[in-house]
């Protein structure tokens, strides 16, 4: 005890003073970086290429809303398909039948490991393998299937984890009241699992919104352009980045509120515990 | 004790978890209206035996008969058989996404296909029976442990069971909440309910049980009237156990 006391006395700076110094250095670095950026960059040029006011107005007036709508339609279809397939895969992962478990595991690991871009490319080339194959509702069928496949692999794991997070005692209580395995699943397990799953499923929805930008691989007519393709086309024809910036803001209009909702739900969940 | 046909009749019951032989050749029966308390050290197989009565655990061999119906028969409709066996768990296992009332009505509407208003009437009746008439709309998270366990009892009673199983119903409760649950159970016993109660509450067993069963190492070591078994046990293992639970000293 006395030795430790002596040690503290010998220390030159107290931890609190040291922490304050480290913080001061961090602020100094930040200020220097800002000054350098302000002096070295050509701000008028940057403003013209990224935020040309005329071009912003033009982009919004000519096709932005349609592109936003298309992005939403592509994502919604992919999400619904992914949710259905993901639930099925989760059930397979939890099955008593070994081969179902293995098939689901292989599928999930395969499609979680592949870049979504590769899945889209494979889908756009599918007619090579199946001559005469026509996906329904072109281009939606192809886009929804590709997004659904990518999404289902992630959602399956979320759904499985949600189901497994419901305590075993819940099912035992349900079964001891005479409910069948199916009734216990629908009335007891899934409603509780779903609450657990909402935040991660919303994150996966955000991911799918961004992955929907890969639809350009499929080859689209202008009326079917999504936000990215629309922004890029306008940027190319105007030789200016502004339309792409506007398209990017279009994504944020959808994804930011979703992110905020997820944060809120996660905070509420951790408080409730 | 009456000599009429037993409500529960278990013969030659064996249960393994992997290579762990948890229940060894158990013969055990319970008469109608009888209250049996099961005591014994941790890991002796009390819960497993109780869970074999409604087949939450499937035994490897032996027969379980409840109310003339053989649950271990592969042709038995186990969901139907379980409706007449109420179970109360150590951890309550209330459905957190339902109010106290709906915890009680859920099985009435989904399993017994009763009309909503009739189910509610039955549920209210049983919540009143456990002294929670004013908590019908409360969700489990808003209830104390003792109140939750009483809702769990009301939930089981709502199915109008012939038999009630209790697995250490007061072990998860703060000491000051134990009494209210035991009071409800004592009243149930007085009303003539057939009950199997796994418990560490020796005083409750002494007062309420018609018979006390002492288990150790997966077998029934000794059983008898509480006055006899708890005061003058024949087996040294029973004596050791009772000495340990009745005179708890720092270990
Ligand atoms: N689901 C299970 N899987 C594997 N082993 C189990 C399982 N349930 C119980 N056991 C084992 O069976 C034995 C008996 O357990 P059981 O829960 O019936 O004892 P208990 O008498 O109820 O004990 P306690 O007083 O601690 O509740 C123990 O060795 C336990 O480890
Ligand atoms: Mg136990």
Whether B3 is in a domain gets the answer no
**3-class state of residue B62 by DSSP:** strand
pTM for the whole structure: 0.80
Whether A202 is in a domain gets the answer yes
CB spacing of B82 vs A178 below 8 angstroms = yes
Dihedral of alpha carbons A261, A263, A267, A270, sign: positive
Confidence of residue B117 (pLDDT cuts 50, 70, 90): very high
Confidence of residue B46 (pLDDT cuts 50, 70, 90): very high
Whether B242 is in a domain gets the answer yes
Confidence of residue A271 (pLDDT cuts 50, 70, 90): low
Domain count of the fold of chain B: 1
Domain count of the fold of chain A: 1
Probe ligand 1: pick from B24, B43, B202, B217, max atoms within 8 Å of CB?
Answer: B43
Whether A84 is in a domain gets the answer no
Q: Which domain holds residue B30?
A: 8-246
Q: Is the pLDDT of residue B248 over 90?
A: no
Whether B2 is in a domain gets the answer no
Q: Is the pLDDT of residue A7 over 90?
A: no
Instruction: Give the nearest partner residue to A169 out of B79, B93, B112, using CB atoms.
Output: B93
Whether A48 is in a domain gets the answer no
How are strands ordered across the β-sheet holding B85-88? B85-88, B163-167, B194-198, B35-39, B211-216, B219-224
Instruction: Give the nearest partner residue to A192 out of B54, B97, B141, using CB atoms.
Output: B97
Whether A130 is in a domain gets the answer yes
Q: How many CB pairs under 8 A join A and B?
A: 60
Whether B226 is in a domain gets the answer yes
Map chain A to HEC letters: CHHHHHHHHHCCCCHHHHHHHHHHHHHHHHHHHHHHHHHHCCHHHHHHHHCCHHHHHHHHHHHHHHHHHHHHHHHHHHHHHHHHHHHHHHHHHCCCCHHHHHHHHHHHHHHHHCCHHHHHHHHHCHHHHCCCCCCCCCCHHHHHHHHHHHHHHHHHHHHHHHHHHCCHHHHHHHHHCCCCHHHHHHHHHHHHHHHHHHHHHHHHHHHHHHHHHHHHHHCCCHHHCCHHHHHHHHHHHHCCCHHHHHHHHHHHHHHHHHHHHHHHHHHHHHHHC
Interchain CB contact of A188 with B (< 8 Å): yes
Interchain CB contact of B22 with A (< 8 Å): no
Ramachandran assignment for B38, one of left (phi > 0), alpha (psi -120 to 50 degrees), beta (any other): beta
Q: Which domain holds residue A174?
A: 53-79+115-147+155-272
Q: Is the pLDDT of residue A13 over 60?
A: yes
Q: What is the CATH number of the domain that holds A223?
A: 1.10.3720.10
Whether B240 is in a domain gets the answer yes
Mean pLDDT over each residue of chain A, to the nearest integer: 89
Question: How does pLDDT run across A43-95, given as a tens digit for each residue?
Answer: 888 888 888 888 889 888 888 999 999 999 999 999 999 999 999 999 999 99
First to last CA, chain B: 40
Cβ proximity of B77 and B153 under 8 Å: no
Question: How does pLDDT run across A92-107, given as a tens digit for each residue?
Answer: 999 989 999 999 999 9
Whether A35 is in a domain gets the answer no
ipTM of the complex: 0.93
Whether A242 is in a domain gets the answer yes
Question: How does pLDDT run across B13-40, given as a tens digit for each residue?
Answer: 999 999 999 999 999 999 999 999 999 9
Question: How does pLDDT run across A175-228, given as a tens digit for each residue?
Answer: 999 999 999 999 999 899 988 898 999 999 999 999 999 998 888 888 889 999
Distance CA B86, CA B162 (A): 8
Interchain CB contact of A176 with B (< 8 Å): yes
CB spacing of A177 vs B85 below 8 angstroms = no
Could you tell me if the CB of B51 is within 6 A of ligand 1?
no
Q: What is the CATH number of the domain that holds B100?
A: 3.40.50.300
């Amino acid at each position: 005890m006395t030795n430790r006391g002596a040690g503290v006395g010998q220390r030159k700076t107290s931890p609190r003073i040291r922490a304050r110094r480290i913080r001061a250095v961090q602020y100094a670095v930040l200020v220097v970086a800002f000054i350098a950026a302000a002096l070295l960059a050509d701000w008028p040029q940057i403003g013209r290429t990224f935020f040309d006011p005329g071009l912003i107005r033009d982009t919004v007036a000519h096709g932005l809303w349609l592109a936003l709508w298309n992005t939403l339609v592509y994502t919604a279809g992919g999400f619904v398909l992914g949710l259905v397939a993901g639930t099925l895969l989760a059930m397979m992962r939890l099955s008593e039948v070994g081969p179902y478990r293995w098939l689901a595991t292989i599928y999930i690991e395969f499609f979680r490991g592949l870049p979504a871009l590769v899945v889209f490319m494979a889908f756009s080339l599918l007619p090579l393998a199946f001559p005469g194959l026509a996906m329904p509702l072109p281009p939606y069928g192809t886009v929804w299937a590709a997004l659904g496949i990518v999404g289902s692999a992630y959602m399956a794991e979320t759904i499985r984890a949600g189901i497994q997070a419901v305590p075993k005692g819940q099912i035992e209580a349900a079964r001891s009241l005479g409910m069948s395995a199916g009734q216990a699943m629908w009335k007891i397990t899934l409603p509780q699992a779903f609450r657990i799953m909402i935040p991660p499923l919303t994150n996966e929805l955000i991911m799918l919104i961004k992955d929907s930008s890969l639809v350009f691989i499929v080859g689209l007519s202008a009326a079917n352009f999504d936000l990215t393709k629309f922004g890029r086309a306008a940027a190319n024809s105007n030789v200016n980045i502004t339309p792409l910036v506007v398209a990017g803001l279009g994504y944020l209009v959808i994804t930011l509120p979703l992110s905020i909702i997820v944060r809120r739900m996660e905070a509420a969940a951790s408080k409730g515990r | 004790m009456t000599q009429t046909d037993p409500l529960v009749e278990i013969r030659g019951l064996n249960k393994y978890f992997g290579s762990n032989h948890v229940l060894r050749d158990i013969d055990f029966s319970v008469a109608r209206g009888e209250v049996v308390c099961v005591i014994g050290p941790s890991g002796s197989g009390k819960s497993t035996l109780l869970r074999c009565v409604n087949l939450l655990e499937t035994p490897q061999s032996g027969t379980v008969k409840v109310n003339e119906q053989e649950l271990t028969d592969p042709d038995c409709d186990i969901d139907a058989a379980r409706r007449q066996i109420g179970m109360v768990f150590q951890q309550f296992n209330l459905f957190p996404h339902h109010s106290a009332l709906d915890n009680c009505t859920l099985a009435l509407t989904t399993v017994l296909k009763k009309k909503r208003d009739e189910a509610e009437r039955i549920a209210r009746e049983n919540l009143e029976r456990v002294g929670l008439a004013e908590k019908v709309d409360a969700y489990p998270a808003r209830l104390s442990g003792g109140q939750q366990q009483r809702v769990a009892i009301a939930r089981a009673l709502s199915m109008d069971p012939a038999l009630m199983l209790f697995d250490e119903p007061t072990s998860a409760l703060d000491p000051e909440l134990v009494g209210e649950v035991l009071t409800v159970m004592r009243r149930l016993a007085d009303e003539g309910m057939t009950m199997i109660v796994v418990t560490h509450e020796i005083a409750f067993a002494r007062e309420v049980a018609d018979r006390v069963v002492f288990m150790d190492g997966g077998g029934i070591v000794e059983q008898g009237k509480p006055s006899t078994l708890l005061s003058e046990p024949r087996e040294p293992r029973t004596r050791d156990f009772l000495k340990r639970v009745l005179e708890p000293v720092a270990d």
